[in-house]
Amino acid sequence: MLALSADSPWVYLASQSPRRRELLAQWGIRAELLLPDADEDAEALEAVRPREWPSRYVQRVTRHKLDAALARLQRRGWPDGPVLCADTTVALGRQILGKPASKADARRMLQALSGQRHQVLTAVALAHRGQVWQALSRSEVEFGPWSAADIRRYVDSGEPMGKAGAYAIQGAAGLFVKRIRGSHSGIVGLPAYETAQLLRAAGLRLL
């Protein structure tokens, strides 16, 4: 991991995902968390509209999260700075698999993904000095078969909760991944290449 100096590039990160913050740190970027206030209904932003395509959904949600974060920054009176948002969704065909609402929901998702190929879509949006940049990462993941016992043990571990598609590729679910095509960091939650493109466009100095 790169050492962060006082003049390291930095962003406001409007995400509760520790994985996104860890990835930024690995790339030498300091993240100041810009999280929702207690009275903000962050979950409402993730509601799926009828007949919405997964790619359209994840980009729309990310832009709404960015707008909410910019309003939050202004409301708090914090110093100006680049604001970064991202959202990840798993798509099985046109079916959007978001964060499981319960253990039963997580089991249902994993049963559907078992032995199948699916897409992982991560949208990224960055705002700085009145401009907005956006990007979309598409990756394909193929799972081998999961037995009912595999799924039960994995769900009971608690790892699927709070994860799109009910799994984390960097965790135990990685043991069932036959192959991926695309961005591993995008599957984790923040695509390296696309994020770097946005940060450079906003004038941040990267390696």
Active-site residues, by number, are 87
Token pair for residue 125?
């949006």
Strands 117-128, 95-97: pairing kind:
unpaired
Strands 117-128, 131-143: pairing kind:
antiparallel
Q: What is the number of alpha carbons within 13 Å of residue 115 lying toward its C-beta? A: 5
